[in-house]
């Protein structure tokens, strides 16, 4: 019986070993297809972004019942009426932040923690705020379990950003307010980029950049996110 242990240990270790920097976890093929067909195939080209979405185990961040659907081309429910965004939207928004590796990034709407994990692969520190305590706690635990030590999750209303950690080189918002929250613009570093959906049922994705002379605003694509809760609703 004793002789079986090394064999058993080797067998289980195979379930999650790392191959060429990519985790081999039984979902590797589905993830590769997702990157090729849904993301690169639709025009996201930044190789660092493609590597990041090819690496983050999305199936580890969705509820167990959703695991087998984790790499499908759609948003998925993550509980408390919230959703994890479609993989393409995560990759597209991430590319718009133009991360190079040394940034401090703020995310509003931690949700499952998936977007935060993608950011953590691409930037130095990620600060993420989630208004639903249960989701924030779960994401914090999942991200720690997956080894993302550079993600800091706070439970609260993200409308006013995270002033103690400002300024940020990049800010991403994954719940839609009806207007751009001024505190988030104020927390952008010079050269910083803010990507957020704005609107009601029909929303558009905006990229706002701060340079030495002021603020530039650019319209990107039409999107549909859950509404931003809290102060955003009373400030409409």
Among 25, 28, 83, 220, binds ligand SAH (CB under 6 A): 83
* Closest distance of CB 227 from ligand SAH, Å: 7
Residue among 49, 175, 194, 196 that touches ligand SAH (CB under 6 A): 175
Q: Which of 34, 122, 135, 143 binds ligand SAH (CB under 6 A)?
A: 135
Q: Is 115 helix (H, G, I), strand (E, B) or coil?
A: helix
Is residue 112 annotated as a catalytic residue, yes or no?
no
Distance spanning both ends of the chain, measured CA to CA: 68
Question: Which of 73, 76, 39 lies closest to 55 in space, CA to CA?
Answer: 39
Is residue 129 within the footprint of ligand SAH (CB under 6 A)?
yes
Backbone angles phi, psi at 117, to 5 degrees: -65, -40
CA-wise closest residue to 110 among 127, 97, 128: 128
The one among 23, 54, 57, 111 contacting ligand SAH by CB under 6 A: 111
Q: Residue 171 Cβ, how far from ligand SAH at the closest point, in Å?
A: 12
CB of 25 to ligand SAH, least distance (A): 19
Residue 57 binds to ligand SAH (criterion: CB under 6 A): no
Q: Which candidate in 38, 85, 115, 128 is catalytic?
A: 85
CA distances to 47, 62, 107, 195 from 182, rounded to whole Å, are: 32, 32, 15, 13
Residue spans of beta strands (DSSP E) within the chain: 18-19, 22-23, 76-79, 82-84, 104-108, 125-130, 151-155, 168-173, 188-199, 203-211, 214-223
Q: Which residues are catalytic?
A: 85
Would you tell me which residues interact with ligand SAH (CB under 6 A)?
Answer: 82-85, 108-109, 111-112, 114-115, 129-132, 135, 157-159, 174-175, 226, 228-230, 232
């Amino acid at each position: 019986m004793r002789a079986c242990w090394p064999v058993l240990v080797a067998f289980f270790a195979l379930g999650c070993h790392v191959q060429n920097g990519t985790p081999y976890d039984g979902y590797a093929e589905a993830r590769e297809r997702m990157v090729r067909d849904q993301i690169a195939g639709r025009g996201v080209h930044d190789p660092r972004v493609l590597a990041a979405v090819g690496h983050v185990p999305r199936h580890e961040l969705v509820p167990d019942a959703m695991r087998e659907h984790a790499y499908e081309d759609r948003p998925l429910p993550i509980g408390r009426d919230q959703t994890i965004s479609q993989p393409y939207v995560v990759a597209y928004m991430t590319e718009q932040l133009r991360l190079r590796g040394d940034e401090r990034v703020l995310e509003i709407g931690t949700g499952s923690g998936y977007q935060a994990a993608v950011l953590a692969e691409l930037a130095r520190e990620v600060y993420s705020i989630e208004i639903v305590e249960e989701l924030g706690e779960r994401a914090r635990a999942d991200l720690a379990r997956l080894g993302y030590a550079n993600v800091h999750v706070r439970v609260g209303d993200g409308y006013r950003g995270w002033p103690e950690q400002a300024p940020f080189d990049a800010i991403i918002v994954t719940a839609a307010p009806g207007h751009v929250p001024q505190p988030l613009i104020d927390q952008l570093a010079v050269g910083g980029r803010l990507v957020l959906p704005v609107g009601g049922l029909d929303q558009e994705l905006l990229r706002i950049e701060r340079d030495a002379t002021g603020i530039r605003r650019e319209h990107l694509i039409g999107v549909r996110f859950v509404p931003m809760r809290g102060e955003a609703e009373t400030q409409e």
